[in-house]
């Protein structure tokens, strides 16, 4: 029996998005000095419960048009209004207009069903202008045709099927491709969100050519990310000058984000020792932590745009996890593209394969040490348990002895 859902649940609808301007975002001193915070917004929509969880971002028209996807399987499309007055020489967003929210669809045109099929994590324009979306849990990459992507059903091809299979074979269930990107030659790149098994800092990725069925090789690549940071999105700089990597860390009561840059060629031209085991350590472009002076949240979406004059605009969006204690934050930064590219070439580096072995060794040692500590704790607990049981039995014996003496007295 077919169940007919109301059109309001299956069609995109216009919504009012309220915004509050963010005046400051403090970057750590080790950041690229040429990166300038130009403004930000805290976004809120009270009329649609599906507003939130935005995990990917694709922008166009110099960053004024934005598309995002949520981990509940919904689209967001909106226009960013920018100030006409420059703030320290750069324009920042001041409000949002023309916002629409709508459900994503599967290969048959049906609304995505259930969390395991609706967990969209990244969205990017391909070289023909359509939108590619990566999903985790049921790992896959699907295509949606523009401009009617909100109403179109998903489609796939040999390249997307190949990447979907690779992700399914290597990523953990909830650690799929949080970020994907299309290179200038049409190749598709993606990284797993979770570190490789037995490591803490190595993240597996792949570059899949446009026509893998023609015998073109799939290239394995690896990222080296430290301090508990994980990759959450990717963005190709204008002209293919490099690949920006958005990273997120949450733990020990702290939430932070990093922006790294992989120079053009490092993904496709091999590495320094001719093996697939070497890891790319991106150039450290920016780092920021959540505080009163930094509106950092769970930053998961990244996109870049050429705004003219050799300037690149970076736009970021956060996933609020539909939590009352989090916010949907939209941040923008700008930098001179030539200087940023030069910085990436100078600071990005290869971490030799031995580094991975050393890391695995440290992880194993840490695991063994942790196991010994647990064993010692359990042994201590067992000793306490035996002592308590022995004491209890002694008290019970003494109690029964007293009872016997009392019984004799009454007789």
What is the residue-averaged pLDDT of the chain?
86
Nearest to 171 by CA among 128, 119, 102: 119
pLDDT of residue 318: 98
Contact 276, 265 (CB under 8 A): no
Q: Across residues 357-381, what is the average pLDDT?
A: 49
pLDDT of residue 41: 97
Q: Across residues 90-107, what is the average pLDDT?
A: 94
Tell me the pTM.
0.83
| Cα distance between the two ends of the chain | 83
pLDDT of residue 406: 32
Does pLDDT of 183 surpass 50? Answer: yes
Does pLDDT of 34 surpass 80? Answer: yes
Paired sense of beta strands 242-251 and 230-236, if any: antiparallel
pLDDT of residue 7: 45
pLDDT of residue 90: 64
pLDDT of residue 211: 86
Q: Is 64 left (phi over 0), alpha (psi -120 to 50) or beta?
A: alpha
pLDDT of residue 405: 33
Does pLDDT of 399 surpass 80? Answer: no
Q: Across residues 184-189, what is the average pLDDT?
A: 96
Q: Across residues 142-146, what is the average pLDDT?
A: 97
How does residue 38 score in pLDDT terms, banded at 50, 70 and 90? very high
Burial of 360 per CB tally in 10 Å (0-12, 13-18, 19+): middle
pLDDT of residue 400: 42
Paired sense of beta strands 299-308 and 311-318, if any: antiparallel
> Any idea which of 34-38, 46-50, 393-397 has the lowest mean pLDDT?
393-397
Q: Across residues 278-303, what is the average pLDDT?
A: 95
Task: List C-alpha distances in Å: 106 to 71, 127, 189, 255.
Answer: 15, 22, 22, 34
How does residue 393 score in pLDDT terms, banded at 50, 70 and 90? low
Phi–psi pair at 380, nearest 5 degrees: -65, -40
pLDDT tens profile 209-240: 998 866 678 999 999 999 999 999 999 999 99
Does pLDDT of 323 surpass 70? Answer: yes
How does residue 269 score in pLDDT terms, banded at 50, 70 and 90? confident
* CA atoms of 349 and 310, how far apart (whole Å): 25
> Any idea which of 5-9, 67-71, 107-111 has the lowest mean pLDDT?
5-9
pLDDT of residue 389: 59
pLDDT: which is higher, 311 or 386? 311
**Which two three-digit tokens encode residue 324?**
């009352």
pLDDT of residue 216: 76
Strand partners, 385: none
Does pLDDT of 364 surpass 50? Answer: no
């Amino acid at each position: 029996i077919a169940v007919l859902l109301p059109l309001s649940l299956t069609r995109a609808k216009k919504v009012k998005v309220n915004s509050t301007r963010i005046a400051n975002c403090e970057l750590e001193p080790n950041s690229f000095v040429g990166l300038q915070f130009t403004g930000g917004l805290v976004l809120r929509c009270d009329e649609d419960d599906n507003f939130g969880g935005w995990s990917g971002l694709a922008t166009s028209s110099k960053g004024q048009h934005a598309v995002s996807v949520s981990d509940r399987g919904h689209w967001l499309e909106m226009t960013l209004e920018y100030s006409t007055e420059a703030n320290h020489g750069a324009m920042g967003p001041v409000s949002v207009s023309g916002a629409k929210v709508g459900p994503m669809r599967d290969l048959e045109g049906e609304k995505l069903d259930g969390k395991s099929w609706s967990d969209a994590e990244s969205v990017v324009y391909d070289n023909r202008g359509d939108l590619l979306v990566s999903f985790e849990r049921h790992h896959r990459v699907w295509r949606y045709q523009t401009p009617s992507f909100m109403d179109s059903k998903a489609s796939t091809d040999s390249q997307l099927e190949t990447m979907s299979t690779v992700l399914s074979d290597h990523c953990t269930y909830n650690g799929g491709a949080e970020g994907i990107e299309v290179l200038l030659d049409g190749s598709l790149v993606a990284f797993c969100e979770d570190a490789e098994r037995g490591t803490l800092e190595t993240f597996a990725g792949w570059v899949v050519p446009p026509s893998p069925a023609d015998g073109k090789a799939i290239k394995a690549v690896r990222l080296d990310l430290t301090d508990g940071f994980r990759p959450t999105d990717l963005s190709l700089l204008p002209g293919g000058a490099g690949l920006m990597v958005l990273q997120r860390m949450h733990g020990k009561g702290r939430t932070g984000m990093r922006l790294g840059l992989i120079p053009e060629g490092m993904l496709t031209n091999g590495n320094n020792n001719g093996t697939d085991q070497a890891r790319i350590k991106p150039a450290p472009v920016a780092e920021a932590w959540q505080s009163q002076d930094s509106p950092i949240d769970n930053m998961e979406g990244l996109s870049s745009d050429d705004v003219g004059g050799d300037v690149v605009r970076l736009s970021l969006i956060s996933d609020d996890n539909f939590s009352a204690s989090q916010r949907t934050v939209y941040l923008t930064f700008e930098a001179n593209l030539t200087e940023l590219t030069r910085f990436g070439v100078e600071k990005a580096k290869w971490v030799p394969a031995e580094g991975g072995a050393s890391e695995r060794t440290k992880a194993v040692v840490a695991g063994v040490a942790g196991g010994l500590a647990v064993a010692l704790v359990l042994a201590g607990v067992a000793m306490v348990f035996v002592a308590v049981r022995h004491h209890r039995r002694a008290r019970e014996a003494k109690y029964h002895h007293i009872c016997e003496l009392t019984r004799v007295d009454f007789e």
